[in-house]
Structure formats: structure tokens, C-alpha cells
Amino acid sequence: MSFKAGRFLAVLFIASVLIQMHIAANGYAARKTKIAFTSTRGGNPDIYVMDADGRNPRRVTTHDEDDGDPTWSPDGRKIAFVSNRNGGNIQIWVIDADGKNPIRLTDGVWDQHPAWSPDGKRIAYDVLLNPWDAEKWNRTIYVMDSNGRNSRQPIKEPAYDTHPSWSPDGRKITFSSSMEDGTVEIYVMQADG
């Protein structure tokens, strides 16, 4: 095998691992010792947790439907994730880090990319608007209390806004959007919009 072919296979292997495992990057307290990720090693996408050194992987969700996009609560006790386990719609769920007490927080058709606020009291996420009309598809950012209540839309003019992330002090939210000229760029707003 030539050097180029071996290098290509190595890159292909790494890419396939990254595709199968979406590593959760949020949750300051937990991520120092644990990593939450999505894997299909059990047959369908489920949430797993392992030590930061890659040892002791443990399956957290065992549902027949797809679970993914995990993110730690700041105190490391809970994991927010997305799942289609409620009739095929993609919604935000939260589960204890040990896999107990799964609770559905949203009831939309396509809610994803949950991000905990630094104080653990709120979760930002993005929502697909007009899901039944592909010509009017749009996404926008929502913020809710961490128990799923008081969901609100801080951006009043959505323009395919997605992937929210909180500032360390919890006062601002960054997100990607195509609001200016159709080009996707990074934006920042006050947490209240």
C-alpha cells in the first residue's frame, strides 16, 4: 500500500469515527472528567458517556429511536439531547447522567442543538419553522427554562438561525444565521433577544 493510500485510509477512518460520535462540548464541570457522545455501536444512535481518557464507555439511552446531540448541564448531573422517540418528531429531551428519568422538554416537529446556560437555568435551542412547507423552511433560536417551561423566541425576524451557544456569563447567545444577505455568519445577541 502506498503512503498516499494509507494516509487516505487513516483520514477516512478518523472521519467515520467523528461522524459516528458527536462529542458533547458543553458542561464545564462534567467535561473535565466525562465525555458524552452519540454512537451507533448498539445498532442505532444512542447517548454514551465515557471517562475523558476514553475508558469506561457506558450507554445512557437504550431507546429504539435515535438519540443524539448530547450536552452536559453545567453541574454535570443531566444531559440534554435530541430524540425522535415521540412519534418521529425531533425534540429536546433531558436525562439524568446515569440514564434515569428521561423527560421531553419540547413538543415541536424539529427542535435541535440544545445549549445549557452557564447557570443551568435555561436551555437555548433552534426550531424549524414551517416544517410542512419546504419553500418557507426557516430556523430560529428559542430559549426555555431548563424544565421545558417558558419557551420564548428572542429573535423576532428569523433567518435560518441555528447552533446557539451561551457566553460564559450567560448574558449573550452566539448563533449562526443568514440574516444579512443569505451568507451564513456568526452573530451575537443579548440573551433576551
pLDDT in tens, the chain (193 residues): 444 444 443 433 443 333 334 344 444 444 468 899 999 988 889 999 999 899 999 999 998 899 999 999 999 999 999 999 887 889 999 999 999 999 999 998 899 999 999 999 999 999 988 766 666 668 889 999 999 999 998 877 777 888 999 999 999 999 988 877 778 889 898 988 7
Q: How far apart are CA 193 and CA 187, in angstroms?
A: 12
Where does 3-190 sit in CATH, by number? 2.120.10.30
Residue 79's nearest CA partner among 53, 55, 58, 65 is 58
Q: Are 99 and 42 in contact (CB under 8 A)?
A: no
DSSP 118-155: TTSSEEEEEEEESTT-GGG-EEEEEEEETTS-S-B---
End-to-end CA distance of the chain: 56
Q: Are 71 and 26 in contact (CB under 8 A)?
A: yes
pLDDT at 139: 85
Q: Are 140 and 120 in contact (CB under 8 A)?
A: no
What are the cell numbers at 57?
464507555
Residue with cell 413538543: 107
Q: How far apart are CA 38 and CA 170, in angstroms?
A: 26
pLDDT at 157: 74
Q: How far apart are CA 172 and CA 193, in angstroms?
A: 9
pTM of the model: 0.79
pLDDT at 131: 66
pLDDT at 182: 74
Q: How far apart are CA 182 and CA 162, in angstroms?
A: 14
